[in-house]
Structure 1
Amino acid sequence: MAVDTILLAFLGTLLLLYAIGVPIAIALGATSVFVMLLPIGPSFNPGIISNQLLHGLNSFVMLAVPFYLMLGRLMNRTGMTENVFEFANSLVGQFRSGIAQVNILASLIFSGMSGLAVADAAGLGRVEYTSMREYDYDKSTAIGVTGTSSIIGPIIPPSVPIILFAVLAQESIGSLFLAGIIPGVLLALFLSLFVYAVVLKNGPGKTGSFDFGECYRSFVSALPALAIPIFIIAGITTGMFTPTEAGALAVLYTLLLGFVNGDLTPGSMVKEFRGGMVETFAILFIIGIAMLYGLVALQLGIPTLLAETVLATTTNQTAVLFLFVGLFLLLGTFMSITATIMIMTPIVMPVIQQVGIDPIHFGIVMILTLMLGVVTPPLGSVLFVLEKVTDATLKEVMKAVIPYYIPILLVVLLIVFFPDLTTWIPYNLAG
């Protein structure tokens, strides 16, 4: 059977279903079954389908997903996100481009608590945008900074996209968590410098003077929240517990703190757990179906086909990375990061292994590149969140974030050319 026929049936069907609005999990499952029923596909076997769905989710590391989703929800519910923002404001809010820098710093700190760009935009977005507008920042700058700073979250641990990639690529979650630290900090630094240049050219000046007393007070208020990412990273690095266990302990800590401080009631806890269960089910359902899709891809020989195609073009590791960066930038314009990770990871990993690219390095490159998708029209999820939490139209939001692609792409280039930026911490500090 011709190669183009196989690709048309396997990828064309999926993209067609996704384009007409079929949910990604249903599209993946329907494509898998459709290909099984074709003469070119593996034989249709309900037993294989059920077995793949069951064992694809029967993994201890998958428990990390609901824990970190729940952690982000509890941080919002107990007001920890606002405490983080106030602390960041007391540190840098009084300097030139101060409130804009607060926006980025708060996202950097909050990234260690949620692991989702949408959670950052929803949790801090309204506060950050309102504060910038109050200090006379134009709407475009306020939206651009708020939207693009939210993508720091899925790079710095804990990170739900990193967990998904690690499970599908069969790599260490802890190593990938640690690999994201330097790229995440670089992303915050580059965004900060870019914002400073924008504000220096056309923006408000200083917003006040540094107040040590206010800084200390806000630090004390934010300390319980600041302890969470330190606790998670230190525990994983020293081997005291796994990323899954760290997530469970962080949720327990936040629950106890919420009840002690009176920020959490049994009713609100039940509400957050219910919401977390819905989010968890949605993600795990996608993962289970993606496992089936990956199995069908393997049986069709698509990973081998892709590997042969890429290797016929080039065997240079940097060139191969750039090929995939271009592919991920394209996919990010119309697919969610979760969907892309689910679909592409099982397909591209054989290529990565044959070329000799470090899978830890590749995982961070892939996720950081795909993060542009959450702020890219027409389907970027953060764009829709910003429309909800600000007074801007969707068109204004889309236009505002485009200039801020520059610092993000610069960081992508850096980590492509310098793999040690991702691998140094997991291989040298964590062994």
Structure 2
Amino acid sequence: MDVVLIALFILVLLALYLIGVPVAFALGLTSLILMLTPMVSYSPELVAQTLVSGADSFVLLAIPLFLLTGLYMNSFGLTSIIFDFAEEMIGPIRGGIAHVNILASILFSGMTGTAAADAAGLGAIEYEAMQDAGYEKGYSAAVTGSSAIIGPIIPPSVPLIMYGILAQVSIGVLFIAGIVPGLIMGATLLMLCTYYAHSHGYERGTWWSLPDIWESFKTAAPALGTPVLIIGGLLGGFFTATEAGAVALFYTLFVGYVFYGGVENGDFVETTYEGVVTTAALTFIVASATLYGFLVRRAQLPDALAEAVIGVTGDPTLLLLMIVGVLLIVGLMMETIAAITILTPVFLPVIDVAGIDPIHFGIVMILTLMIGLLTPPFGIILFILEKVTDVGLERIMRSMVPFYIPLLIILLLVVVLPGLTLWLPKFVGLI
């Protein structure tokens, strides 16, 4: 019976998703279909109540707040300003524009929450700058794509918010836990770019000019205040992740209009509309995932899966590596939010039985799925790069191969060394 139920829950959902049904509707339809079978007894009258309870969450407010913050930062042109500041900071380092590409993504990660937004918004700017500096097209696209996945690891992060809601763990702690792995990922990519620059003989940039650095810093300082507010407020315990989103949004609007001239009313309305539509879609996904997760738990499928997996191995590290293998495969075919909403309720009982910290698992899960965004044949960032650059998809895929090595090494380190994710939250007293 368990095998049949697991097959129904997974295969019906995947079939709907693969034929193009949006993930929110796929989750809801799968739940309704299974409710009609005799194996899952559930009162239809409670469907609406379950859906509403799933969307009735204070932490869900963090999604529109951080989304709008990133969208307004784009509208005010602050991505270009941050990029210019990063370029001044790199100075004469060989292969500097590639380093700027990565540093800008690290800085901009505090003002967005999704890798796709980084690749689509900042990606075009980064790619054009590398082309102007004479870099090979495939390499330029590969650096842009690999740097984009840093954003959802360093706070704020929409995927981490979604995981925190579904796993019922502190989003603030998740944000802080992602800082060290994100910075290590950025440092590793910088080292790869340094090697690439020396092996290909790329020229140095202009020497540092303190007056130019100071002028660039003065221009970028108001924009850079956003990640400082978010991370500083969370580390200091001054506000929760949701409150951090509200502070970041109001601060961004203030500096956007006071220091950077604001935007036309029509552009402001269009940006707001985009944020509202995206928020509505994500909220619907959470509501549908709540119903799906409730049915999964009611059918006791996670317990059956946990017993089966623990029967194979009880070692937490080996178990986590097995889950990573599954997530890498899922990441090839499924968008990140969809994968999080579907798999989080399934894996949580497994990691609980194995004694794996849910904060550690959350970072591992998001990092693994981010790598999936860059992996053929369906990695969404690959398709975004094809659209925002003049590089063909096949060439982008070939150029990405060297970048998989450091990313997979970082993933392995995060899996086997939980301290990389848990040290900073413990140091500041959050756990």
| TM-score, normalised by the number of residues in structure 1 | 0.97
Name 1:80's counterpart in structure 2.
78
* Equivalent-residue separation in structure 1 for 2:293 and 2:100 (angstroms): 42
Q: 2:149 aligns with which of 136, 148, 151?
A: 151
The structural deviation recorded for 1:151 is 0.4
Q: 1:126 aligns with which of 110, 117, 124?
A: 124
Gaps (5+ residues) in structure 2?
none
Name 1:170's counterpart in structure 2.
168
| 1:316 equivalenced with 2:293 (yes/no) | no
Summarize deviations over 1:123-178 as a string: whole Å, max 9, x none. Answer: 21111101111111111110000001000000001111110000000000110000
Matches within 5 A, 1:279-298: 279-298=278-297
Matches within 5 A, 1:2-401: 3-43=2-42, 45-260=43-258, 261-401=260-400
**What is the alpha-carbon root mean square deviation over aligned residues?**
1.3
8 A contact 1:42–1:296 mirrored in 2 = no
165-174 or 113-122: bigger deviation: 113-122
> Secondary structure in 2 aligned to 1:88?
helix
Instruction: Give the residue type in structure 2 aligned to 1:62.
Output: L
Summarize deviations over 1:233-268 as a string: whole Å, max 9, x none. Answer: 111122211111111111111112222232323332
Number of corresponding residues: 429
The structural deviation recorded for 1:394 is 2.5
> Secondary structure in 2 aligned to 1:262?
coil
Runs of 4+ in 1 over 3 A off after TM superposition: none
8 A contact 1:259–1:265 mirrored in 2 = no
8 A contact 1:78–1:264 mirrored in 2 = yes
Summarize deviations over 1:306-350 as a string: whole Å, max 9, x none. Answer: 100111011111111101110110100000110111011111111
The structural deviation recorded for 1:179 is 0.2
Summarize deviations over 1:194-231 as a string: whole Å, max 9, x none. Answer: 12222222252213222222111111111111111111
8 A contact 1:144–1:404 mirrored in 2 = yes
8 A contact 2:173–2:425 mirrored in 1 = yes
* Equivalent-residue separation in structure 1 for 2:237 and 2:115 (angstroms): 27
8 A contact 1:111–1:158 mirrored in 2 = yes
30-39 or 69-78: bigger deviation: 30-39
* Equivalent-residue separation in structure 1 for 2:105 and 2:262 (angstroms): 22
> Secondary structure in 2 aligned to 1:40?
coil
| TM-score, normalised by the number of residues in structure 2 | 0.97
* Equivalent-residue separation in structure 2 for 1:264 and 1:107 (angstroms): 23
* Equivalent-residue separation in structure 2 for 1:93 and 1:130 (angstroms): 18
The structural deviation recorded for 1:380 is 2.0
Summarize deviations over 1:99-135 as a string: whole Å, max 9, x none. Answer: 0000000001001110211111112111110111111
Q: Identity percentage over the alignment?
A: 46
Instruction: Give the residue type in structure 2 aligned to 1:189.
Output: A
